[in-house]
Structure 1
Amino acid sequence: MRSVLGIDAAWTEREPSGVALIADDGSGWQLVEVAASYSAFLQRDLSGVPILRHRGSMPDATAIIEVASGKVGTPVDLVAIDMPLSMTPITGRRASDNMISSLYGARHASTHTPSVTRPGKLSDELRIGFNDIGYPLAVEHPAGRVLIEVYPHPALIELADAERRLPYKASKISKYWPEVAPGARLEKLIEVWSQIVDLLDARIRGVAAALTLPSVTARRYEMKAFEDSLDAVVCAWVGACVMDGTASAYGDEESAIWVPRRGA
């Protein structure tokens, strides 16, 4: 049994972070669990009471790995996180940021610039927390249980064989489609989400069943919860590609962002 934990990590503790767990028992990758926050991922195992509005919290690497490993019956092999991570404290742009921006900038998928405050200490604590329980940060040739950094925008470009970044962020729909009425913008957004879900479902069984598309009348926090869950599954898919040998690392000895290769 192989397993990957994908985390769409918020850059501040005030915002929720999506979590997705996938596993392969030899018959292909399958979605085991997806949640729109750490609390939801951890709480479901205890009470089964759904969380309607997700809140941010500090990540507890030990608790997350214990629950995830319990769900698949064996220790998680790889943790893939969408957050800047580095062997040393981050103070600004890294070689990995510059390499991704050079490769994908013309396709509107440059990285955000990290700093000492965002994600700052949160990134350090996350990396150290996973390292302390046996998941060191891998910047090349991952061996054994590892932690990796991923970035959904270039991953989705490769997944969809797209010319540019996919317009799938709910907070940016007015920029994506400025000439379209607000209600129609939401319809377009949900169409893009549907395409992404279908592409992921073709590679990870159970994604379409777990990620029910919201309606255009859904509240903003419901849209955000879906988006965070979707991003977490994308993170997990990138981790699966790393385990399958179909992803490349861009960076140096301090940091690396892993991106699936075309056709993965």
Structure 2
Amino acid sequence: MTDHHENVVSNLDIGVRFFESDVTTSGYVPFHWHSSIEVVCVLTGKLTFKFDGQSHVVGPNQFMVVSSGVVHDVTNLPNRAFVLQIPLKFFQTFYPDPERLRFVPTTANQAAYHTVLSLFDDLYRVKRDQQPGYLFDFGAVLLKLIKTLILNFTTETPNLPQRTDGIKELLVYINQHYQAALNEQQLADQFGYNASYLSRLFKKQTGVTMIQYIYVIRLNALYQDVIKSGTPIDKLFAKHGLTNKRTARQLFKEMYGVLPSELRRQQLAKQSS
């Protein structure tokens, strides 16, 4: 598992990160957060973002903006997407207190929505062609994109985010210790909460129960090992803390549409073809 607070390392000299993501398998990125604003424009396939207790499905020719510091997870089908990550310090010259920006996913303004999609195409073309002085062109398109997002896809009176420090610490712990025998009472005691209160708080801020989240983490880890390793599946159940194999198989099929054994056979067939 990786650190679940992500710092953006720019891949362009102007200080932002922009790339095309091509993912060929289904997957899941556990709850995490950025010290940047992230914009994802889906070209093919589907991504589902979950934050503030709600799920947001993003398909082809749609985009999602995730505000700085917002705890979110991402479930994906095979997909291609443009990803733009903009550190807060990049905004500061143009917009005061960018950490207060709260982006609202909406398609109400169709003209602005299509402008954003078109500007993503422009960013990709400029970066791909890299004509002399292309960073000037990229910067000009980027500023127009940021302006369009702020004027059309933010709340009118941005509020400071709700305190999530305790939940963030808990998420990091679960992500790093998901293989262990975890339960709500033990986690509540460890982090100084009443178990009932922590259960409600977790569900409110993530949209899932703590036990559901632990299972999702374990099943995703199992999925990755099934397709990437030759380890016997029974050993993988134990490796990832899935002690009730029957329940694990049922939940795995609900998440991925196949049983682990069927997925392994499919993967072996692909490799031999």
Instruction: Give the TM-score normalised by structure 1.
Output: 0.26
- Higher relative CO (Cα under 8 Å, sequence separation at least 6) belongs to 1
Q: Which has the larger radius of gyration?
A: 2
Compare the two structures and name the one with the higher strand fraction.
Answer: 2
Instruction: Give the TM-score normalised by structure 2.
Output: 0.26
